[in-house]
Amino acid sequence: MKTWIFQGNTKTFDIDGYLASSTGYIRWRVAQYANEIHAGDTVYLWRADSGVTDSGGVLAECQVVSEVQDLLDDEGSKPFWKTSPTESIQTRVILKIIRLANKKEFIKRSWLKTDGVLCNLHILRQPAGTNFPVTSDQASRLSTVWQRTGIDWSRSEVVAALTLYADLWNQPISKNIGSPVENLSKKIGRVPSAVYNKLMNFKSIDPRVEAAGLSG
């Protein structure tokens, strides 16, 4: 089975409203890779940047439950089009929504740019389009991050981050690819930004540091 990212253009369609109102099954246009997308594949739905900072990213996980076929648009999608709904039959696929992210669980596009695996996602390199392939390595990493984002940190994760903070004491802290922060993020299944923010939390209560960290 393969993994894909399907993108929704927020300039023409209210993807959040559509998913929130759905009964669990939706239809999505297949403009690319029609011969490679099959029932059983995993799809992550991606909200395109809307012009608001950090508005783009992964907001749902779905499973393909039909073969690609010529279908009318979902009747339930019509109220969410910002332009005239497409009434014609087009190449589409039926998806079952597995999980819809809440605010804390949404994976921001900006977070993935500093991840050594996910920074190479096709949708980040060439964002124009509807359907994007995800490699097996990217799929494994994305699945792990999807499961951990928005979940409270475990004691072992906090201890690992605190140990790294101690190791980096009085040194610049970076979340760039190849940094100790990014390396730890891979080990605990978090995005580099999450580990970086945790270290900044420690910094905010470190009596040795005069500069402010992150209090959250």
pTM: 0.92
Phi, psi of 158 (to 5 degrees): -65, -45
Q: Three-state SS across the chain?
A: CCEEEEEECCCCECHHHHHHHCCCEEEEECCCCCCCCCCCCEEEEEECCCCCCCCCEEEEEEEECCCCEEECCCHHHHHHECCCCCCCCEEEEEEEEEEECCCCCCEEHHHHCCCCCHHHCHHHHCCCCCEEEECHHHHHHHHHHHHHCCCCCCHHHHHHHHHHHHHCCCCCCCCCCCCHHHHHHHHHCCCHHHHHHHHHHHHHCCCCCCCCCCCC
- Give the pLDDT confidence of 119-132 residue by residue, as tens digits: 999 999 999 999 99
Task: Look at residue 50 in the predicted model and tell me its pLDDT.
Answer: 72
d(CA 84, CA 186) in angstroms, rounded, equals: 44
Residues in the chain, pLDDT under 50 = none
Per-residue pLDDT tens digits for 7-46: 999 889 999 999 999 989 999 999 999 999 999 999 999 9
